[in-house]
């Protein structure tokens, strides 16, 4: 039985540790807090992030990076995207040289605009064939409750993607494969931005017509962006794009939807950040995504308007007409 490490004991890291253990692996979950590691080991639960969920015996935890990583054949990374670089720099000496590194994160690095797989490659020096990403319609609490879902493992190496898929597929979680790392990552990143937009109009009080318009036009917008950066269009219509967007766009379990909803109700960005108990990756990714879009000449009216609301330069109630219409001239869909 192979040993797998999961670095990060938040809701998603803990949930994925459960997925991997239920698929038959021995999993070592790294927790920053020793008290949380003790709770997982003695009580088989993570009450802070997954209340009411019992973790399988195959999940063990440690606050020691060295212990967590020792002998791991696969290492799943589940920390906030903006802290990945600094964490990898600390973990580097303990990463097994032949391990597969798997990103569970959905963000773009603020300062560089790099996707998480690019940060992993740059910091660790691991080959692209050793790096994979997992993305899809994955709300942590639903998966932890073993509600059936599917996801995608992507790597430049199909063999690597298949190894990740085998390790993470069980009776309630099915992992498909592809080699479109760019599309799989950008699907997970960009749908967060549209979820914030839908949360905003929900907070304002607009109904299903507005939200459906934003979701569908948002999919077109993020697809244009992803394809311009080298993604395959079919990836954006699959689990990592459309599937993830549907799951995230209007779920009360979605941090990005909740963040947008608070913005729509009039909370300022700093107040929203204080009220969120966990990271909403979409908020941190908006500015670098817009910079990347400008560099490719891709128009992103929905994301641009969300950015204005976040900056306090547009009232949330004014957002909907701008989201679905760029000018007064008739436009093709």
Q: Which residues are catalytic?
A: 191
If one counts every other C-beta atom within 10 angstroms of the C-beta of residue 274, the result is 9
Residue 47 CA to residue 45 CA, distance in Å, equals 6
Cα–Cα distance between 170 and 165 in angstroms, integer? 10
CA-nearest of 99, 105, 138 to 19 is 138
CB atoms inside a 10 Å sphere around CB 276: 15
Regarding beta strands 173-178 and 100-103, do their DSSP bridges make them parallel or antiparallel, or are they unpaired? unpaired
Distance between CA 321 and CA 300 in Å, rounded?
14
Contacts of residue 294, defined as CB under 8 A and 6 or more positions apart, other chains included, come to none
Q: Could you write out the three-class secondary structure of 11-58?
A: HHHHHHHHHHHHCCCEEEEECCCHHHHHHHHHHCCCCCCCCCCCCCCC
Q: How many CA atoms lie within 13 A of 208 on its CB side?
A: 0
């Amino acid at each position: 039985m192979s040993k797998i490490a999961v670095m990060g004991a938040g809701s998603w890291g803990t949930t994925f540790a459960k997925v991997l253990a239920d698929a038959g692996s021995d999993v070592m979950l790294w927790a920053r807090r020793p008290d949380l590691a003790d709770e997982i080991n003695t009580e088989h639960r993570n009450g802070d992030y997954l209340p009411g969920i019992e973790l399988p015996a195959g999940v063990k935890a440690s606050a020691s990076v060295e212990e967590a990583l020792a002998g791991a054949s696969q290492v799943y990374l589940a920390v906030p995207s903006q802290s990945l670089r600094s964490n990898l720099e600390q973990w580097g000496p303990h990463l097994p040289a032949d391990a597969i590194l798997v990103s569970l994160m959905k963000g773009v690095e603020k300062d560089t605009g790099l996707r998480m797989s690019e940060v992993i490659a740059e910091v660790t020096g691991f080959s692209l064939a050793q790096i994979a990403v997992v993305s899809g319609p994955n709300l942590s609490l639903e998966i932890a409750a073993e509600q059936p879902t599917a996801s995608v493992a992507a790597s430049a190496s199909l063999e690597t993607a298949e190894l990740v898929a085998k390790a993470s597929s069980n009776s309630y979680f099915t992992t498909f494969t592809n080699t479109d790392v760019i599309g799989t990552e950008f699907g997970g990143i960009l749908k967060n931005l549209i979820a914030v937009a839908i949360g905003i109009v929900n907070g304002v009080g607009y109904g299903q017509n507005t939200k459906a318009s934003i979701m569908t036009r948002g999919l077109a917008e993020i697809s244009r962006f992803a394809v311009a950066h080298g993604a395959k269009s079919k990836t954006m219509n699959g689990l990592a794009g459309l599937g993830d967007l549907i799951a995230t766009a209007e779920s009360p379990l979605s941090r990005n939807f909740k963040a947008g909803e608070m913005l729509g109700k009039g909370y300022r960005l700093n107040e929203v950040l204080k009220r969120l108990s966990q990271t909403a990756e979409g908020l941190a990714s908006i500015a670098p995504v817009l910079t990347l879009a400008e560099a490719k000449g891709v128009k992103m009216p929905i994301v641009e308007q969300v950015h204005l609301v976040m900056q306090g330069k547009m009232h949330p109630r004014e957002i909907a007409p701008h989201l679905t219409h760029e000018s007064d001239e008739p436009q093709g869909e």
